[in-house]
Structure 1
Amino acid sequence: MNAIPDTTYDIAQVCLLAGKIILENGGETSRVEDTMTRMAAAFGFPDAHSYVTPTGILFSLDGPEQATRLIRIADRSTDLRKVTVVNAISRRISLGELTAAEAYRLLKEVETANDGYTTWFRIVAAAVASGCFLIMFGGSWRDFLPAMLCGGAGFWFVIYFHKLIPIKFFAEFLAALVTGATASLLLQTGLGHDLEKMIIGSVMPLVPGLLITNAVRDLMSGHLVSGISKGAEAFLTAFAIGAGIACILSFYKGEGIA
């Protein structure tokens, strides 16, 4: 890779890339803005300005060669390891250990890295978490394995539907349908005993907990646009999950099963 000169444009590129990685992997808005402004200050631009929303970043460097860049955020997931690595790179820049070219190279490596957990590991983790949530909410140990099965099936389907249908809330709705249907079938066969506790434990891996937390933190930090938009996304996701479960319960209660 060719070395990137430390021009105003390239420094803006480095700061934007760092902000993009953090925002795409579960970081809150205040962290994105703080990281970008600190990096810009370390490169000699103390008067940098940024405006961050969940779907875009606007960043400007004030100086002899003014640079303003806008970047679009299309996909968002959760990978806090990448957020931690970017923060570590930012600290090294603040200490003067990295040039813009070196920082850009490291950030590109972080962006393209695909060393997260495998799909099957995530499904197993969601299944175990579902069983633990069942116990935490007062369920019986005899429903631990059925809850694991329901939670694992629901999480697998949400991953599958996200790949099949690029509509976030529709995928959660269908996954909730699968989770509720699996729990109801296990109840009919006698493998499950408490339908409500099994469903509550099974849908917990689908709940947008990080999104809700970031929405509250953004609102408390004064980032009203980001906080409200993330809160709306969390509400719609929770509504989709609840609607899916409600449809299944209505169907089975109409049949006199649940």
Structure 2
Amino acid sequence: MVKVDKTILLDTCLLAGRIMIEGGSEMYRVEDTMNRIVRNAGQSEPLIFTTATGIIIGLKNQPYVQLSQVSARNIDMEKVAGVNQLSRQFAEGKITLTQMRKSLIHLDKNTPYFPLPLQVLGAAVVSATLMVIFAQQYDWMDIPLAAVAGSLGYLVNYYVGRATKIRFMSEMLGAFIVGLTALIGVRLGLGREIDNVIIGAVMPLVPGVAITNSIRDMLAGHLLSGMARGMEAILSACAIGVGIAIIFRFF
């Protein structure tokens, strides 16, 4: 077994864990990946503590402990899949620890994203199709309006999220635009049921993955992370509700 630098090993594990948490991975998956990296590097009994806002890792009976802060959390399965792929390559001996660390740094800074027009198109498709599912009827006037409202809401959410550091503001303003677009469209005769339009158009903003992951974390025994993520998802849902409520209250 090739001797590895324990400082580089822990730094690589922290980097992998942080990228996975920022990408929306469950905590038990993060810990499992970090454990595998340590064990495949020839070290046994790693001590790992993960939360939604930070990671601590050390080696048992050895004076090696490092921690990393997690400041941003989003849903990006491309990052999670990339870390898992690098972990498998390291386990199979296809890459060294140093190569893995360099690849993780590159992944962290150069994660590929779908172009914004394609994301907006996806939001439109999701809004239209989920409106049909929730409304349980095909209303060919409401479907285009739901697609337009969902697209505009997603765009506002995207740009506000990039422009401000205030959490949940982007969801609230995105939902407000969804409700305003639906209201104007119905009043202009471009749609019939404002409730159906809003239900479909707001779906791209709903934190469904975050809610699911919080429940999975709690079922896996990560109560602290599960409750933190659950509260974050609830606050996002409340922000969306406030944005829609403003429309019904004042318009």
Range into which the TM-score falls when normalised by the shorter chain:
over 0.9
The equivalent residue for 1:231 is: 230
Could you say what secondary structure the match of 2:191 adopts?
A: coil
Structure-1-length-normalised TM-score: 0.92
For 2:72, the equivalent position in structure 1 comes to 75
Retained in 2: the 8 A contact 1:45–1:63?
no
Conserved? CA contact 1:211–1:231, under 8 Å? yes
User: Can you list the C-alpha shifts for 1:24-74, whole angstroms capped at 9, x where unaligned?
Assistant: 11111111111001110111112101111111111112355x311110111
Which stretches of structure 1, 4 residues or longer, exceed 4 Å deviation after superposition? none
> Which residue pairs with 2:176 in the alignment?
177
Q: Distance in 1 between matches of 2:143 and 2:216?
A: 34
Question: Which residue among 114, 119, 123 is the counterpart of 1:117?
Answer: 114
Do the aligned partners of 2:54 and 2:67 also contact (CA within 8 Å) in 1? Answer: yes
Q: Flag structure 2 segments of 5+ consecutive residues without an equivalent.
A: none
Q: Per the alignment, in what secondary structure is the counterpart of residue 6 of structure 1?
A: coil
How many residues align structurally?
A: 247
Distance 1:188 1:48 in 2: 62
Q: 1:95 Cα deviation (Å)?
A: 2.4
Determine what percentage of the aligned residue pairs are the same residue. 36
Task: State the partner residue of 1:92.
Answer: 89
1:17 counterpart = 2:4: no
Mapping for residues 206-245 of structure 1, pairs under 5 Å: 206-245=205-244
Structure 2 SS opposite 1:98: coil
Kindly provide the amino acid, as one letter, of the partner of residue 201 in structure 1.
Answer: G
| Residue number in structure 2 paired with 1:104 | 101
**Counterpart-to-counterpart distance in 2, 1:148 and 1:223:** 38
Deviation at 1:110, TM superposition (A): 1.2
Aligned-pair RMSD on alpha carbons?
1.3
* Residue 240 of structure 2 is aligned to residue 248 of structure 1: no
8 A Cα contact 1:45 1:62, kept in partner? no
Aligned to 1:128: 125
Bigger Cα displacement from structure 2, 170-179 vs 137-146: 137-146
**What are structure 1's unaligned runs of at least 5 residues?**
253-258
Check the 8 A contact 1:21/1:111 in 2, yes or no. Answer: yes
For the structure 1 residues 39 and 114, does the alpha-carbon distance in structure 2 shift closer, same or farther, using more than 3 Å as the test? closer
How many Å separate the matches in 2 of 1:118 and 1:57? Answer: 32
- Which of 20, 27, 30 is 1:29 aligned to? 27
Secondary structure in 2 matching 1:45: coil
Structure 1 residue aligned with 2:60: 62
